A and B are shown apart, each in its own frame.
Chain A
């Protein structure tokens, strides 16, 4: 079922955990609530579940206002960060718990358990206790238990937080497949932007209790609503040049700023992929020393240090790096293709600007 929050706020005493948040999750969608810790995303999830009551505003599930509906009556499945499996019950009894409470017939319960054990690859583990399971198995039991009574929405709090990196990757893929098969409206909380980008259909980004942006992974990456989103989703170089004679300068870098008064400070942001690097010193306008190379798999991140000491982060493929014969400590030329003028953190961003190709200055000339 669809979920909607309308002007929802939550205060804990003096602390505003969630500030006037509105967004909607469509039926069957896989939605991520993303933000740094303390951003209010878990509180939002718990308000959808009914484990917390909003201080003001409305929560709707399936178009019906559920503010006054107790957690038991909301028909949600909730997966806790540390799974919260019942330690004194076997896997089968954990899964059966919600069904017994809802007074299913014994035969139906057995059938449902068998169905879920198979769906979650837990056959043969039904009489184990939680402490006899691996982290990944525990998580699958937790999700199976939450899904057993056929909830209308599935809510997961940091579902991949408590397992190690390798299992985390498997679980991500598995959750996407599961969601695809079951098509139940799913909302999960994460602080890991990569995880949100990879798993979710759409992402809601929170910071300090405020909703910063809602959009598909592509939208929030390519059209971030503000500087916070831009910096939180992926890496961004941020510089603060000062305008002089219609040009904003910082170190060696120059950005056109026609019509801006002298002495005005600008904030400029550009993504690492907007930086083009060449080992040919005559190809691009700026020169720098390649200080560090970080291997991220297929892609590499490199740190360039300009003569003025300015650091610029860039990204390139492994092949390109090898093809150009780059290595740490070598000198390169580079240019910046696109950038944005940033305003204050929460203000909307202006569209991206293209920088024309500027040939490098003739060697020896002073600029």
Chain B
């Protein structure tokens, strides 16, 4: 019994092409498990979003999206992304530059701080802003005296979104910038270029794929953020509801098809992001390979 088992086992080994490869049975079991997991937990729910959205037909789908409150939510989401993504691009470039190109005390602390939004629960992040800017918060009275609305208004939503999407651009840029080093910039300086010319003609082009990658991830998260925004938005229908908040509200109002219609837009955004992400990763890996061969000399 044991002998035949061993013989079978060896037979499988011979059938596989390389010595390090698993026997085909195990290989296919692993691939099958991974695939079915993806189908059950990723693909089916995604398909279901579109199925549910169209459950009552195209006409209802369009009507749900065209509803003034839905349109307001879409507009607000786009506005929030349009403000917070550029802010984080500027911040991400500055932080990545500082970390990749300079040596200074507290550098590891800065890297840890950049990651903070990843490790803090979004709801806690939202509460932090509530404590700071809310009516009962530290700055609440002063803000009210000057007639400034932060919480339950656009500024609060933008603040929460900027906080949550803080790490994306910086995290993508740091390794790219570290890989390119500072010599190209120094070369530009010796050729007479100013700091700004160097940044524009040398630094930015060398990190463009990494930067774009960071931007689309940042944008996807900015549009999809729920927890932090939910705390600071106040859920005022037609005013401070972003798309994710609108989805939740419609669903709670037993309008499943309407909720899924808005949700399908977010799902499309996700698919679009995924496609660009794949393309950019491919471009970037090519660029990296180039940089490596160029560096080797």
Q: Choose one: B190, B202, B287, B294; the contact of A130 (CB below 8 Å).
A: B294
Asked if residues A102 and B192 are in contact (CB atoms below 8 Å), the reply is yes
Cβ-based interface call for B290 (8 A): yes
Q: Choose one: B186, B192, B205, B297; the contact of A162 (CB below 8 Å).
A: B297
Asked if residues A83 and B297 are in contact (CB atoms below 8 Å), the reply is yes
Q: Mark B155-196, 1 if CB is under 8 A from A, else 0.
A: 000000000000000000000000010011011111111100
Cβ-based interface call for B20 (8 A): no
Q: Which residues of B contact A162 (CB under 8 A)?
A: 297
Closest Cβ–Cβ distance, residue A89 to chain B (whole Å): 8
Asked if residues A80 and B295 are in contact (CB atoms below 8 Å), the reply is no
Q: Choose one: B188, B192, B202, B297; the contact of A82 (CB below 8 Å).
A: B297
Q: Mark A285-300, 1 if CB is under 8 A from B, else 0.
A: 0000000000000000
Q: Mark A51-88, 1 if CB is under 8 A from B, else 0.
A: 10000000000000000000111011110101111111
Cβ-based interface call for A221 (8 A): no
Q: Which of A80, A83, A88 has the most CB of B within 10 A?
A: A88
Asked if residues A87 and B290 are in contact (CB atoms below 8 Å), the reply is yes
Asked if residues B193 and A87 are in contact (CB atoms below 8 Å), the reply is no
Asked if residues A82 and B295 are in contact (CB atoms below 8 Å), the reply is yes
Identity of the chain B residue whose Cβ is nearest the Cβ of A103 in the assembled complex: B192
Asked if residues B194 and A72 are in contact (CB atoms below 8 Å), the reply is yes
Asked if residues A85 and B294 are in contact (CB atoms below 8 Å), the reply is yes
Cβ-based interface call for A97 (8 A): yes
Asked if residues A77 and B190 are in contact (CB atoms below 8 Å), the reply is yes
Cβ-based interface call for A98 (8 A): yes
Closest Cβ–Cβ distance, residue B99 to chain A (whole Å): 20
Interface size class of B (residues with CB under 8 A): 20 to 34
Q: How far is the CA of A80 from the CA of B188 in the complex (A)?
A: 11
Q: How far is the CA of A230 from the CA of B297 in the complex (A)?
A: 33
Q: Which residues of B contact A51 (CB under 8 A)?
A: 186, 189-190
Cβ-based interface call for A301 (8 A): no
Q: Mark A225-260, 1 if CB is under 8 A from B, else 0.
A: 000000000000000000000000000000000000
Identity of the chain B residue whose Cβ is nearest the Cβ of A129 in the assembled complex: B290
Identity of the chain B residue whose Cβ is nearest the Cβ of A157 in the assembled complex: B183
> How many pairs of A and B residues are in contact by the CB < 8 Å rule?
76
Residues of chain B from 181 to 217 with CB closer than 8 A to chain A in the complex: 183-184, 186-194, 197, 201-202, 205-206
Interface size of A in residues (CB-CB distance below 8 Å): 31
Closest Cβ–Cβ distance, residue B296 to chain A (whole Å): 8
Asked if residues B189 and A71 are in contact (CB atoms below 8 Å), the reply is yes
Question: With A130-B294, A131-B294 given, is the CB distance from A84 to B186 under 8 Å?
Answer: yes
Question: With A82-B183, A87-B291 given, is the CB distance from A72 to B297 under 8 Å?
Answer: no
Question: With A87-B290, A101-B193, A130-B294 given, is the CB distance from A80 to B187 under 8 Å?
Answer: yes
Q: Choose one: B187, B197, B205, B297; the contact of A88 (CB below 8 Å).
A: B205
Closest Cβ–Cβ distance, residue A76 to chain B (whole Å): 6
Asked if residues A97 and B190 are in contact (CB atoms below 8 Å), the reply is no
Asked if residues B297 and A84 are in contact (CB atoms below 8 Å), the reply is no
Q: Which residues of B contact A102 (CB under 8 A)?
A: 192
Cβ-based interface call for B293 (8 A): yes
Asked if residues A101 and B205 are in contact (CB atoms below 8 Å), the reply is no
Question: With A135-B297, A138-B294 given, is the CB distance from A86 to B194 under 8 Å?
Answer: no
Asked if residues A97 and B184 are in contact (CB atoms below 8 Å), the reply is no
Asked if residues B206 and A101 are in contact (CB atoms below 8 Å), the reply is no
Asked if residues A80 and B183 are in contact (CB atoms below 8 Å), the reply is yes
Q: Which of B190, B287, B290, B291 has the most CB of A within 10 A?
A: B190
Question: With A88-B206, A162-B297 given, is the CB distance from A97 to B186 under 8 Å?
Answer: no
A-B CB proximity, top 3 nearest: A98-B191, A84-B183, A162-B297
Question: Can you offer 9 A-B residue contacts whose CB atoms are under 8 A?
Answer: A72-B192, A73-B192, A78-B186, A86-B184, A86-B206, A97-B193, A129-B290, A131-B291, A149-B191
